[in-house]
Structure 1
Amino acid sequence: MGDRLDEIMILAKSRDVADRERLLIRLVDMCNGRPDDLRTPRVQDLLSQVFFYLVFQAEHDIRMRLAENIASSDWAPSGLINILAFDHIEIARPIIARSPILEDPDLIRIMVEATLEHQIEVARRRDISVSVVEAILKAGRPEVLKALAENETARVSHDHLAELIQRSKDIEGLRSPLAEHVGLNAELASYLYTWVGVALRKSLAS
């Protein structure tokens, strides 16, 4: 650990872009190796300060690699994760998809404030809750609704599915994923049947 800290201190004093990238990766590796030591408020505050300082100076490609490396980590500071979740979509995508740090209010905030591409990633995230599903339905953007209809792990209730089917009357892209949805029952299938094409009617009838 002493050698690693010495290396980190040397890299921290460098202004070279490659050294900053190595510094971020060394910090992530060190944190991944000792996650149980990183959950106290004092350590989280210190980590936040260090990572914020580095991330705000980091190039796009470095932030992208950082996001990929910490996307699944449960030790990462919440503030850092939320900043990366609003970054360019290439950086935000793994964070939105996998970060256990993101909670429902964070995901709903992305639905309200972020770009269409970010919202689509929220709709694709595994096991999104009822609250997030309702935020997606409230926003009502066709591309995001399609991503939700394709997400079979989302907590979509009977009423949510009925609302998606109603909207598919005007949004053709919803019809095919809804026809294959695991929550579709005979009652809902009969509603969908009235405005789909011949191929999907055959599938629904069967």
Structure 2
Amino acid sequence: MIIREFLTRTQNGSANHRAEAAAVLARTYLYGNLTADEAWETKTALLTILDDPSPVVRRALAETCAASARTPRPLVVALSCDVPEVARLVLARSPVLTDADLVDAAALGDETTRAVIAARHHLTHAVSGALAEIGEPHILVVLARNPTAKITAGRMLRMLERHGDDAALREALLTRADLPPEVRHAIGLAVADALSDFVTHRGWLGAERCDRLSREAGERVALEACGGAGAAAVARLVAHLRTTHQLTAGLILRAVLSGRIDFALAALADLSGQDHAGVARAMRDPRSFADLHARAGLHDALLPAMQAAVSAWQAVSRRPAANRGAGLSRQIIECAISACDDLPGPDMHPVRALLNRYEAEAARDEAREVARAIAAEALARENARRDAQAADAAWRAALDSQRRTEFAPSAGEAEIIPVAEIVATAAAAEPQNPVGAILEALPDQILAWYRTDEPEMDPETQAATDAVLDGLGESLLDHFRASQDSAAPAAEAAEPDSVVKIAA
């Protein structure tokens, strides 16, 4: 019934109309509460849409069904084999597709389809391995930058083996949080090879010298890759170096001279077949260490230098801040050189030359560290000086702005200025009475506040006062008049002082 009704309504419709109907039918199947018979009919109707000649209809169906786990598997597989613009929608998100489906799609698809598969969420080891074998550099970059993709160390090494000269791939691999030490070492070797080829093509250095520099750079990278890695990761790196014929006696000696005893212990355990505990005990006893050295297959000429280096490391490790990472320690190198200086024999010349190169390298590393510290200190002082100058300039600008704001004349003050000039002109014209000019310039409110004139008395009050005074005796009146006469000069003397105070 559903199939018949769907075909009837969409048979003569346009492509957009059919696409809309296909999306509605797909949503009904995925999210509708259908019975078993209705679900079967709806599923059959969806499969018939695959024969629609317009890719617009199939694309609408893929967009609706791509992210759902309830989509019928035959429908998803068919859409994944459709034209690329339809297949990529399903290959990018569909949880129904298996690893075999994705590997097959990657093998048969174009580069854009492979890039879509490489960016899938939670990509498995099988699919990542297939892409590592057939993918182009930009596809491998997408795969390496996918943090949820599961990639084994072997597949990462295969990616570097195929396209290790691609800088974008190396950078993408270095951003991964699960990067194994052996892959980090391989990336360092790829960078060293690229620089060596550049220098050789330029004619700046000979091929043999570039090869030795690349080998020494690979040794430093191998020791730096051990930083922060556990014992299992270091053992895996040692096994990788031994398999690729890069685990040499010079690398083990460099590890001891650099204080990387964990790497040296793992290397000696791998070469001798002993466990780590036995190797650690042998390194504390000179006679046992000689047996371990011979069992590991190292040259006898290296034994004095190794023994002296191990003894010096044991002494240096007791001091604080003795670990220098992957850098060589000049104290340990000097002990090894002293142990080899008095030994005769032509076999010791290569050992002395190797130790001398290590000593020069350690001296250069120390010089670089000192130069960096001096440059950092100078830069900090210069930044502090510039910050102080900027703060001082900002403070001065703020102070000038505040002064201009506070002391700027207002509109009322601008109107008073001519009056002050008039008062000053009047004072200059009448220098004989400056106090009077000042008093005339003062407002009436101020003069009224300082005015000391006696208020006029009421006539009735004055008459009553005169009657009382007339009734007093002559002697008492004489005494009162005398007191009034003495108070008058004092008042006259005090009046100029008050005038002066007012003027002031």
TM-score calculated relative to the size of structure 2: 0.35
- C-alpha deviation, 1:102, in angstroms: 0.6
Q: 1:149, 1:164 within 8 Å by CA — same for their partners in 2?
A: no
Give, in whole Å, the separation in 2 of the partners of 1:153 and 1:25. 31
User: Which amino acid is the alignment partner of residue 25 of structure 1?
Assistant: A
User: Which amino acid is the alignment partner of residue 67 of structure 2?
Assistant: S
2:146 aligned with 1:158: no
Give, in whole Å, the separation in 2 of the partners of 1:36 and 1:129. 34
Residue in 2 that maps onto 1:28: 26
Q: 1:150, 1:177 within 8 Å by CA — same for their partners in 2?
A: yes
2:63 aligned with 1:65: no
Residue in 2 that maps onto 1:181: 176
Residue in 2 that maps onto 1:201: none
Give, in whole Å, the separation in 1 of the partners of 2:42 and 2:4. 17
- C-alpha deviation, 1:104, in angstroms: 0.8
Give, in whole Å, the separation in 2 of the partners of 1:69 and 1:135. 28
Change in CA separation of 1:131 and 1:56 when aligned onto 2, cut-off 3 Å:
same
User: Which one of the candidate residues 128, 136, 150 is aligned to 2:131?
Assistant: 136
2:106 aligned with 1:111: yes
Give, in whole Å, the separation in 1 of the partners of 2:30 and 2:119. 26
For 1:136-170, what per-residue CA distance to the aligned partner results, in whole angstroms no more than 9, with x for missing partners?
A: 12324333222211212111122222322333423
2:96 aligned with 1:101: yes
For 1:5-36, what per-residue CA distance to the aligned partner results, in whole angstroms no more than 9, with x for missing partners?
A: 99746524444333312320220121122378
SS class of match (1:194): helix
Residue in 2 that maps onto 1:147: 142
* Percent of aligned pairs sharing the same letter: 22
TM-score calculated relative to the size of structure 1: 0.77
Residue in 1 that maps onto 2:73: 78
User: Which amino acid is the alignment partner of residue 16 of structure 1?
Assistant: S
Q: 1:14, 1:20 within 8 Å by CA — same for their partners in 2?
A: no
Change in CA separation of 1:114 and 1:185 when aligned onto 2, cut-off 3 Å:
closer
- C-alpha deviation, 1:37, in angstroms: 5.7
Q: 5+ unaligned residues in a row in structure 1: which ranges?
A: 199-203
Q: 1:8, 1:26 within 8 Å by CA — same for their partners in 2?
A: no
- C-alpha deviation, 1:117, in angstroms: 1.6
User: Which amino acid is the alignment partner of residue 76 of structure 1?
Assistant: T
SS class of match (2:148): coil
Change in CA separation of 1:96 and 1:156 when aligned onto 2, cut-off 3 Å:
same
Larger Rg over CA atoms: 2
User: Which one of the candidate residues 160, 164, 167 is aligned to 2:162?
Assistant: 167
Give, in whole Å, the separation in 1 of the partners of 2:104 and 2:160. 26
Q: 2:123, 2:148 within 8 Å by CA — same for their partners in 1?
A: yes
Q: How does 1:113-128 map to 2 (within 5 A)?
A: 113-128=108-123
Aligned residues: 196
User: Which one of the candidate residues 89, 92, 103 is aligned to 2:87?
Assistant: 92
